[in-house]
Chain A
Amino acid sequence: MNNTKRVYLDNAATTNLDKEVLEEMTPFFLDKYGNPSSLHTHGKEAHTAIKEARKTIAEPIGALPEEIIFVGSATEADNMALFGVALANKERGNHIITTKIEHKAVLEPLKKLEKKGFEITYLDVDKQGFIKIDELEEKTTKKTVLVSIIHANHEVGTIQDLERIGKMCKEKKVLFHTDAAQSFTKTELDVEKFNLDLVSLNAHKMHGPKGVGALYIKKGTLIDPLIIGGGQEFKMRAGTHNVPCIVGFSKATEIGMKNMKKSVGDIGNLRDYAIEELLRIPDTRLNGPIGGKRLCNNINISFDFIEGEALLMHLDLVGVAVSTGSACSSTSLRPSHILTAMGRSATEAHGSLRITLSKHTTKQEIDYTINNIKKIVGDLRMLSPLTKVRE
C-alpha cells in the first residue's frame, strides 16, 4: 500500500485543508487563544476575528453578518433549522415538506418530528433527481410551516432550482430552508434571490476545517435554539466559539469565492471528460443530470452486474478513494435511498460509484482512475453470475 499512488476522489465526503487556511488558523491555536466572550484584550482579539469571519461568510450569499450563526457542522445546522423552526412555529402549523433525496441530517430529525406528531411530506423526484414545483405547490397547505430542500445533492449532484422554489415559498408564506453543504462556493447561492430563510453551510467540503458550520437565519425568523447555556451567537447557539475553525471557515470561503468561476469551469470540464470516458464502458449509466444543473465535481455511475463495495475496495487497493451507494457499504445494508428515489433499481444502486473531484484533481489522476476502473469492472464482471444470466 505504501508504494501505491494515492488519488483522492471522495471530495463530497471531505476535502483537504488549504495551506493558506491552516496558516490563517494557526495563530488562533497558539497565540490568540482568548475566549471571544472575555472582556480582556485576548478575548477582544478573538471576538474581532469572529466578527470578521461572520462578515466574510455573509457577504457572498447576500446575508447580513448577524444572520450567520456558527455551529459545529452542517448536520447541526440542519438539526437546528428543523427542530428550531418546528418547535417555535408549533402554533402556526405542524406540516413540513421535504424531498426523498435529502441527507440523513435532514431525514432523521424529520423522522423524529414525525414521531412527535408533525406531518412530513416527502416529495418525489424525477429520474435526474429534480423535484416538481407543481407537486410542492399542491402539497403546501395552511398548516405548512417549513419547506426543506437540499440545494445540490451529495450523491448525484443534482442542483435544484431554488429560485423557483423560493418564489413559491414566499407566495405561500412558508419558511424555506436549504442544505447547501455541497453547493457553497460551487454554484450560485443568494439568499435574497432565492428567498431563503435558512441555509446550512459547512467548511470542510470546500478545503476548510472539519468541526465548523453555520446556519443562516433570516432576520425575524421564528426559531428556537437547540443548545443553550452561555448566550453565544446572539443566544442562538451556546458554547465557547471554535475560533480557529471559524477563522479557517472564513478563509476557505474567501478563497472559494475568489476562484469560484474558474475553478467551477475547470473542475466541470474534467468531470465531463471523466463521465464521457466512463460511459464508454458497456452497460454503464450516469446517475443524475448533465451540464450546469449538476454539481461541477460530482460523477455518479452505475455499472451493471457488479457490486459497488467490491469495486470500491479494489480501487482502494490501487490507491483510489471513492464512494458507493451500494447496500454493502451502509450500516443499514440498504441501497442508497437517493438512487432508489430516482427510480433506479436496487441492483443499479448496488453497482453505483460516486467520484467527486476537487480543484486539485488532475487529468493524470482521472486517467489513472479510469484505467483501473475499466480493468476492475472487467474482472468483477468475469466473476459475476449475473453477467451470464443477462447475456
Chain B
Amino acid sequence: MVIEYTEKTIEHFQNPRNVGEIEDPDGKSMEGNPACGDMVSLTIKVEKDKISDIKFKSYGCASNIATASILTELAKNKSVDDAKKISWMQINNELGGLPKIKIHCSVLAVDTLKSAITDYERRNGLLKEDPDELNEKNIRQRLKSVIDPQTGADIISKNIVSNFNHNNGEISVNLKICKDYESSEVIEDEIREHLETLNDFESVNIKYSCK
C-alpha cells in the first residue's frame, strides 16, 4: 500500500520534538494499545496554569510519531484551557493533511493530551467533571474518537452509530454498517478500546444493521 505523507510529516517523523519523559511531572498519560500498533505517552509540567513543558514517547507508525511531535509543539506554552481546545483537525492541518487511514493517529495524540490534562486536574482537585464516568456524554465523547479508516471521519459525525445506550455498565452500540464492511473489524476494536476504560465498564455489545 502506498502511504502518502507530506514533507512536514516526514520531517517531524525524522526529527521528533520534545521526546522523552519529564521527571516528576504534573500530569501524565498513556493512550492507545500495543495490540493495535499505536501508543502515545505524555508527561506535562504546568506552571501558572500554563503548560511549561511537555514530552512524549511513541510506539507506532511514522504518522503516530509525527502527530505526537507536532502536538507537543502546539501545546507547549499554551494555557491549560487553550491546550484542551487543540483538535485533531488542527494537527491534521498543521501537518498538511494526513492520509485518511492515518487520521486516527492525530486523534490518539489529542486524546493523550486531554488525558494528561485530566490527570493534572485530578491531582490538583480542579476536575469539574470526571471524563471517565460512565454516562451518555462520555460514551458519545469517546465514540467521537473512533475513526473509520475508509473515510477518515469519526463514527458519530458520519452517522455510523445509529444509537447507543448503557445499563449497569453494559453498553450497547448499534452501527449502521454491514458486518463485512471493509473496516468493521477495526471500528469494533476501536470502540471496545475506547469504552473499556470507563469507570464501572462491564461489557460492550456491538450490533450491525445494513440494508
Interface residues of A (CB under 8 A from B): 305-307, 309-310, 313-314, 317, 326-335, 345-347, 350, 382-386, 388
14 A-B pairs besides A309-B3, A310-B62, A329-B3 with CB distance below 8 A are: A305-B59, A307-B64, A309-B60, A313-B13, A317-B10, A328-B60, A331-B182, A332-B182, A332-B183, A333-B36, A334-B185, A334-B186, A383-B59, A385-B59
B57's nearest neighbour on chain A, judged by CB, is A385
Q: How many A-B residue pairs have CB under 8 A?
A: 86
For residue B21, which residues in chain A have a CB less than 8 angstroms away from its CB?
388
For residue A388, which residues in chain B have a CB less than 8 angstroms away from its CB?
21, 57
For residue A384, which residues in chain B have a CB less than 8 angstroms away from its CB?
57-59
- A329, B182: Cα distance in complex, Å: 15
For residue A329, which residues in chain B have a CB less than 8 angstroms away from its CB?
1, 3, 61
A310 touches B16 (CB 8 A): no
A327's nearest neighbour on chain B, judged by CB, is B37
Is there a chain A Cβ closer than 8 Å to B65's Cβ?
Answer: yes
Interface residue total, chain B, C-beta cutoff 8 A: 32
- A350, B10: Cα distance in complex, Å: 20
Contacting residues of chain B (155-208) with chain A, CB-CB under 8 angstroms: 182-183, 185-186
A313 touches B62 (CB 8 A): yes
B182 touches A309 (CB 8 A): no
- A305, B57: Cα distance in complex, Å: 12
For residue A350, which residues in chain B have a CB less than 8 angstroms away from its CB?
34, 37
For residue A330, which residues in chain B have a CB less than 8 angstroms away from its CB?
1
For residue B37, which residues in chain A have a CB less than 8 angstroms away from its CB?
307, 326-328, 335, 346-347, 350
- A136, B34: Cα distance in complex, Å: 34
For residue B83, which residues in chain A have a CB less than 8 angstroms away from its CB?
none
CB distance from A100 to the nearest CB of B (A): 16
B34 touches A310 (CB 8 A): no
Cross-interface CB contact of B65 among A333, A335, A383, cutoff 8 Å: A383
Find the residue from B34, B36, B149 having the highest chain A CB count within 10 A: B34
B39 touches A383 (CB 8 A): no
A310 touches B61 (CB 8 A): yes
B38 touches A307 (CB 8 A): yes
Is there a chain A Cβ closer than 8 Å to B118's Cβ?
Answer: no
B186 touches A307 (CB 8 A): no
